[in-house]
Amino acid sequence: MTGVAELLLQLRERTDVRHSLERLFEMRSPGMPYYDRVVGAAACRRRAHCDLSAGVVTNDRRRTVTFHLTDPDPSFLFKLSLTFAYVLPTSTPRLEARSPLPATGPYMIRSFAGREFRLTRNPRYRVWSRAAQPDGYPDRIVVKLGLDPNRAAASMERAQADLMVNLGPPPHGHRELLSTRFAGQLRVNSTMTTDFFFLNTRARPFDDQRVRRALNYAIDRNRIVGIYGGPDTAQPTCQVLPPQMPGFQRYCPYTRDPGPDGLWTRPDLRRARRLIASSGTKGMHVGIWTTPRPQIAADQGRYLRALLERLGYRASVHLLEPDARFFAYTNDSRNQAQVISGGWSADYSSPATFIGKLGCGYFVPGSASNTTNASEFCDVALDTRATRAEALRSTDPSRADALWARIDRDLTDRGVWLPTVTPKTTDIASKRVGNYQYHPVWGVLLDQLWLR
């Protein structure tokens, strides 16, 4: 992607595009970082009023919108497909909406009250590409959020519901009970997600690579799988990139008796203890920062504390909630949090959404609001390689994937994170549901379901 991107958009008003991005910055949306390279975005970060007229240029005669970027961004087209960049009319207020916003897809929000929203067909929608955005099948979709699993299951048994999504891990998901009640109706899917612990590379003892590698050798990833609920809910991993991601090549140097295709099999405590002994850090205090909810986060923190004590450290677990308080503390380098519970899911199908977040630009000393790289890891040479890999995606995808795989392997060898598992998600579909399709980023495609 060069410094200028030109897209042909069939919009009634090209200024809608600029207005939508300006609104995103004025509302201080969490999606702002995706569009930081648009000319004018830096000023929008500092001011209440956002003006992107120099970065988003419209031409009514040619029916085009041209984006001017401060630097090349090979992922920019992916970022324009995110919900943050959905185009809204210029009449949309630059504040949080209290009523449903206009829709350009096959469905529109008819109502949203409490924990229930209803989608109905958009009468103005016309299929412009069956591959990119096909028409939907249901005439009406009702979504209820936050229901108790047993109540939701009862609704399905009474034929009052057709889909139960994201069945959680025990105890809240009641997985074993539901899998018995709905035998043959479970849909287990892999996700583009990696769960891990950040290891602060600038705080002792994890400023020593030997200690980071030791913990990667010592952790029992099957124990973490058990906390999640078993093999149907998660699979062990030693690396940053998840399966299904371009550039993924399974790699695990931290296991005894490697399984087929490099699978993790069991911890290697003997090698872990040798590395810790050589580091001279045994006996140091290690703090683990996690959240009390979901329960699996707290349970993993307690397990890791027991493991660290078994390895000769003095360890403690700190539970922080809500999420805002947790991130405000752990992302601020002045607090020197050592081990931090984490997990990332793909925003789009590019390794940059994982490895890119380890870049130097995502760590700002003393700033919680501008830091997402809680490991405080910074390697300019690696950033250069990652930029090169992403740039190759549009011209030579196979070379790009090979380069991403090497970067992933290097990060794994350096123990920048403590990867634990790749979670799976489980949906339950009623017997009358057909054409079930699952997208690794967006989940089940509700509008493509058939009802027999």
DSSP category for residue 38: B
Counting Cβ atoms within 10 Å, is residue 288 exposed (0-12), middle (13-18) or buried (19+)? Answer: buried
CA distance 28 to 24: 6
**Residue 260, domain member (yes or no):** yes
Residues 66, 173, single domain; the answer is no
Tens place of pLDDT per residue across the chain (452 aa): 334 444 334 444 568 899 999 999 999 888 888 899 999 999 998 888 999 999 999 887 888 899 999 988 888 988 998 989 988 888 888 877 777 777 778 998 888 888 898 999 999 899 988 888 899 999 999 999 888 777 888 888 888 899 998 876 655 445 666 677 787 888 989 889 999 999 999 999 999 999 999 999 999 999 999 999 889 889 999 999 999 999 999 999 999 988 778 899 999 999 999 999 999 999 999 999 999 988 899 999 999 999 999 999 999 999 998 888 999 999 999 999 999 999 999 988 899 989 988 888 888 899 887 788 999 999 999 999 998 999 898 889 999 999 999 999 999 999 999 999 999 988 999 989 999 999 888 889 999 999 88
Are the C-beta atoms of residues 405 and 249 closer than 8 Å to each other?
A: yes
Nearest Cα to 358, choosing from 326, 388, 382?
382
Residue 6 is predicted with a pLDDT of 40
Alpha helices in 221-294 (DSSP H): 221-228, 269-279
Residue 444: alpha-carbon gap to chain centroid? 16
Residues with Cβ within 8 Å of 96's Cβ and at least 6 positions away in sequence, in order, are: 27
Give helix 295-310 / helix 221-228 axis angle, nearest 10°: 160
At residue 141, what are phi and psi to the nearest 5 degrees?
Answer: -125, 125
Q: Tell which of 85, 120, 148 closes a domain.
A: 85
**Residue 95, domain member (yes or no):** no
- What are the tokens at 221? 């990833």
Residues 295, 411, single domain; the answer is yes
Are the C-beta atoms of residues 421 and 151 closer than 8 Å to each other?
A: no
CA distance 95 to 410: 44
**Residue 331, domain member (yes or no):** yes
**Residue 283, domain member (yes or no):** yes
Residue 175 is predicted with a pLDDT of 62
CA distance 378 to 326: 22
Are the C-beta atoms of residues 169 and 219 closer than 8 Å to each other?
A: no
Residue 153 is predicted with a pLDDT of 80
Q: What is the pLDDT of residues 374-413, one digit of tens each?
A: 999 999 999 999 989 998 988 899 999 999 999 999 999 9
CA distance 38 to 70: 6
| Torsion-angle region of 435 (φ positive above 0: left; ψ -120 to 50: alpha; else: beta) | left
Residues 376, 286, single domain; the answer is yes
Residues 19, 146, single domain; the answer is no
- What are the tokens at 268? 């290697």
SS3 227: helix
Residue 256 is predicted with a pLDDT of 92
Residues 220, 320, single domain; the answer is yes
CATH number at residue 298: 3.10.105.10
**Residue 94, domain member (yes or no):** no
**Residue 333, domain member (yes or no):** yes
Residue 9 is predicted with a pLDDT of 40
Residue 171 is predicted with a pLDDT of 52
Nearest Cα to 347, choosing from 136, 72, 108, 80?
80
Residue written as tokens 């003006």?
A: 51
Nearest Cα to 150, choosing from 135, 138, 167, 162?
167
Residues 442, 411, single domain; the answer is no
Residue 186, CA distances (Å) to 82, 211, 244, 266, 280 in order: 29, 41, 21, 29, 50
Residues 223, 207, single domain; the answer is yes
Residues 174, 71, single domain; the answer is no
Query: Radius of gyration over alpha carbons of the chain, in Å?
Result: 24
Residues 123, 159, single domain; the answer is yes
Q: Which residues on neighbouring strands pair with residue 248, listed in sequence order? A: none
Residues 73, 31, single domain; the answer is yes
**Residue 441, domain member (yes or no):** yes
Residue 451 is predicted with a pLDDT of 87
pTM for the complete prediction?
A: 0.85
Residue 14 is predicted with a pLDDT of 66
Q: What is the pLDDT of residues 293-324, one digit of tens each?
A: 888 999 999 999 999 999 999 999 999 988 88
Residues 212, 349, single domain; the answer is yes
Nearest Cα to 419, choosing from 360, 353, 354?
354
Residue 10 is predicted with a pLDDT of 41
**Residue 404, domain member (yes or no):** yes
- What are the tokens at 174? 């009641």
Q: Which residues on neighbouring strands pair with residue 287, listed in sequence order? A: 316
CATH number at residue 147: 3.40.190.10
Residue 169 is predicted with a pLDDT of 65
Residue written as tokens 């002994």?
A: 277
Residue 263: alpha-carbon gap to chain centroid? 23
Q: Which domain holds residue 52?
A: 4-85
Number of domains comprising the chain: 3
Residues 278, 294, single domain; the answer is yes
